[in-house]
């Protein structure tokens, strides 16, 4: 079996206030996603969200069900988003193959039986970053590239947050039940990925940081306005954010991150913003 997974539980904000760095990382930090020849998953009880990575090497990797799902197939009651952050790859869904290049995404609706990940060149393997949420309806498989995305340019170099938000798997681009995914690219000289920070109690969120240059890192901020916390992130690592937590970060260089959300609505702008000066009072 090439699929590995761990389970994590939801955390009350009052409990989170008492977490030290070790406990924060144990509960919210996700590393080791891309091991050649493996699929590695974290099943979170926060909105039943799954964060994972598939790194096919010289052999294709099938998306196998895991015990926690109590289902014959992984996607019997789930939908899946996959974004390639490695070499050229392919994803075959129920016999139909989709070529997925760097920074391209594929949405797979509930009910798909066979999902197989493959690298075009084992020496430069594909790295499929995966998000999965529960689904009550089956929507068609759809490939989405950066040219297909809804693009929003925000921020400025003066405030160190000049960035382009690429909305990939969102309403208006692809039909989903509750999963949303996108990619934010920071311009050179900018480091803040989401400012003002915000929460959205209707949705949880996960961030995946990549294109972090060698020797650099990102400081991810979480917690509440009154009790903020931080986790240092390396390249190709993810962090899970509960509904009550802010999710914002600043790096020692510019970088790119993938955001994924699940919850009770598909309104991207449903945010309760917290301005920078709110943290100082």
What integer is the mean pLDDT of 23-50?
97
Which backbone phi and psi does 276 adopt, to 5 degrees? -55, -40
Q: Shortest CA distance to 244 belongs to which of 270, 216, 272?
A: 272
- Write the pLDDT tens digit of every residue in 229-255: 999 999 999 999 999 999 999 999 999
pLDDT at 1 over 60: no
State the DSSP code for 173: T
Strand pairing class (38-44; 3-8): parallel
| CATH code for position 34 | 2.60.120.10
pLDDT at 72 over 90: yes
Domain containing residue 206: 3-280
Q: Residue 103 and residue 87: Cα distance in Å, rounded?
A: 10
Strand pairing class (105-108; 29-30): unpaired
| 230, 51, 134, 75: CA torsion to nearest 10 | 180
Strand pairing class (180-186; 163-169): antiparallel
- Write the pLDDT tens digit of every residue in 121-136: 999 999 999 999 999 9
- Token output for 266: 């598909």
- Write the pLDDT tens digit of every residue in 199-230: 988 999 999 999 999 999 999 999 999 999 99
Check: pTM over 0.85? Answer yes or no. yes
What integer is the mean pLDDT of 150-163?
96
Q: What is the pLDDT of residue 245?
A: 95
Q: Residue 199 and residue 133: Cα distance in Å, rounded?
A: 19
Distance of CA 181 to the CA centre of its chain: 7
Q: Residue 197 and residue 219: Cα distance in Å, rounded?
A: 14
What integer is the mean pLDDT of 181-207?
94
Distances, alpha carbon 79 to alpha carbons 35, 41, 111, 117, 142, in Å: 23, 15, 8, 16, 12
Indicate the number of domains in the chain.
1
The number of CA neighbours under 13 Å toward the Cβ of 8 is 24
């Amino acid at each position: 079996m090439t699929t590995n997974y761990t389970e994590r539980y939801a955390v009350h904000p009052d409990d989170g206030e008492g977490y030290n760095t070790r406990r924060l990382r144990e509960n919210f930090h996700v590393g080791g996603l891309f091991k050649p020849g493996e699929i590695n998953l974290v099943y979170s009880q926060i909105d039943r969200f799954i964060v994972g990575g598939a790194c096919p090497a010289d052999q294709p990797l099938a998306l196998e069900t895991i015990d926690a799902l109590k289902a014959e197939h992984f996607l019997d009651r789930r939908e899946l988003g996959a974004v390639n952050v490695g070499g050229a790859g392919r994803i075959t869904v129920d016999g139909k193959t989709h070529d997925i290049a760097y920074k391209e995404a594929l949405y797979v609706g509930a009910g798909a039986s066979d999902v197989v990940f493959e690298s075009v060149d084992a020496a430069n393997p594909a790295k499929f970053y995966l998000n999965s949420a529960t689904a009550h309806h089956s929507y068609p498989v759809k490939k989405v590239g950066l040219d297909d995305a809804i693009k929003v340019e925000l921020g400025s170099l003066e405030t160190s947050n000049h960035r382009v938000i690429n909305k990939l798997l969102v309403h208006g681009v692809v039909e989903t039940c509750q999963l949303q995914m996108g990619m934010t690219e920071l311009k050179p000289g900018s480091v803040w990925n989401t400012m003002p920070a915000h929460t959205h109690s209707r949705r949880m969120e996960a961030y995946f940081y990549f294109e972090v240059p060698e020797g650099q890192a990102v400081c991810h901020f979480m917690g509440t306005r009154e009790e903020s916390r931080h986790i240092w992130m390396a390249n190709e690592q993810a962090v899970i954010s509960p509904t009550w937590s802010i999710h914002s970060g600043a790096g020692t260089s510019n970088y790119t991150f993938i955001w994924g959300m699940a919850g009770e609505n598909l309104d991207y702008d449903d945010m309760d913003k917290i301005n920078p000066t709110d943290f100082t009072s």
